[in-house]
Chain A
Amino acid sequence: MICGDDDQFGSLRLWLRDGVDVYISPDDVVHFVFLSTRKRLRLKVTPLLIECLEWLDGSASVMELDARYEAQASRLGSKHPSSFVDFIQYLYGKGILVRKDWMHNAFCPEQVERYSRQLNFFLDIEESETAATALLKRIMNCRIALIGIGAVGSWILRELVQIGFQRIILVDPKTLKPADHTRNAIFDHRLIGEPKALVAERFVHSQALEPETRAIQSPLDIETNVEELIGADTDLIINTADEPYIGATSIKLSRYCVEKGLPLLVAGGFDAHLASLSEMIVPGQTPCSDCYAIHFEETLRGWKPISHPIVDRRRGFGGLPSLSAFAASAAVLKIVRLLSENGGDIEQGRGEFLFDEYSIDSFKVERNPECPTCGDFERLQARAD
Chain B
Amino acid sequence: MHGASVSQASHLMEVLHERCAVEPSAVRDAIDATEHYRVLNFLGDYFPAAELFAAFERLRSTRVAILGCGAVGSWTAVQLAHSGLDNFTVIDGDQVEESNLNRSIFLHEDIGQLKVKAISSALNRISQRVRVRRVKENICDADGLRALLSEVRPDVIVNCADEPSVDLTSEWINEYCQDRRVPYVIAGGYNLHLSLIGMTVSPGVSACINCSRITLDELEDESLQGVRRLWRPKRNLGSLSPLTGITSSLAASEVLRLAVKSDRLRPAMWNRRGEFNFLTNELSFVDLAPRPECGCTAESIRSKVPKRSP
Contact = CB atoms under 8 A, between A and B. Distances in A.
A178 B75 contact: no
Interface in B223-277: 223-224, 226-232, 235-246, 248-250, 252-253, 256, 268-269, 274
Contacts of B37: 179, 182, 315
Given A317-B38, A318-B42, A359 B238 contact: no
Given A23-B227, A164-B102, A329-B249, A318 B283 contact: no
A318 B102 contact: no
Interface in B82-99: 82-84, 97-99
Given A16-B232, A163-B240, A348 B38 contact: no
Contacts of B282: 360
B79 interface: yes
A319 B38 contact: yes
Contacts of A5: none
A305 interface: no
Contacts of B107: 206-207
A360 B35 contact: no
A330 interface: yes
Interface stretch (A70-78, A107-115, A262-270, A289-297): A107-115
Nearest to B128: A189
B126 A113 contact: no
Interface string B270-293: 000010001111110100000000
Contacts of B44: 318
B9 interface: no
A36 B250 contact: no
B213 interface: no
B28 interface: yes
Contact of A357 (B75, B226, B309): B309
A235 interface: no
Contacts of B126: 181, 187-189
A225 to B, nearest CB: 32
Interface stretch (A121-129, A252-260, A365-373): A121-129
A326 B246 contact: yes
Max chain A C-beta neighbours (<10 A), residue from B128, B223, B279, B283: B279
A317 B232 contact: no
A319 B249 CA distance: 13
Max chain B C-beta neighbours (<10 A), residue from A155, A181, A185: A181
Contacts of A22: 229-230, 232
Given A182-B35, A182-B84, A343-B279, A322 B228 contact: no
A318 B236 contact: no
Contact of B125 (A189, A323, A358): A189
Interface string A155-196: 100110011100000000000001101110101111000000
Interface stretch (A24-32, A81-89, A141-149, A216-224): A24-32
B114 interface: no
Contacts of B256: 320, 322
Interface string A188-210: 11100000000000000011000
A284 interface: no
Contacts of A158: 105
Contacts of B79: 321-322, 325
A125 B42 contact: no
A266 B97 CA distance: 34
Contact of B193 (A35, A187, A330): A35
Interface string A12-43: 00001011011111100001010111000000
B217 interface: no
B157 interface: no
B127 interface: yes
Contacts of B19: none
Contact of B240 (A26, A118, A360): A118
Contacts of B125: 187-190
Contact of B278 (A53, A117, A318, A333): A333
A129 to B, nearest CB: 13
A170 B55 CA distance: 37
Interface string A267-290: 000000000010000000000000
Given A22-B230, A31-B223, A120-B236, A321 B83 contact: yes
A234 interface: no
Contacts of B239: 117-118, 120-121
A207 B101 contact: yes
B249 A322 contact: yes
A319 B39 contact: yes
B35 A179 contact: yes
A177 B234 CA distance: 46
A19 B38 contact: no
A322 B243 contact: no
A240 to B, nearest CB: 15
B108 interface: yes
A63 B209 CA distance: 48
A18 B237 contact: yes
Nearest to B246: A329
Contacts of A16: 230, 232
Given A187-B125, A358-B283, 19 more contacts: A16-B232, A22-B229, A24-B229, A37-B279, A53-B230, A115-B102, A117-B236, A164-B102, A179-B37, A181-B36, A182-B39, A183-B82, A207-B101, A207-B108, A320-B256, A325-B246, A332-B241, A358-B250, A358-B253
21 contacts: A23-B227, A36-B238, A37-B279, A117-B99, A117-B236, A118-B240, A120-B239, A162-B101, A182-B37, A183-B82, A187-B125, A318-B44, A319-B38, A320-B38, A321-B78, A322-B253, A328-B245, A330-B281, A343-B278, A357-B268, A360-B282
Interface of B: 28, 32, 35-45, 75, 78-79, 82-84, 97-99, 101-105, 107-109, 125-128, 191-193, 197, 223-224, 226-232, 235-246, 248-250, 252-253, 256, 268-269, 274, 278-283, 285, 308-309
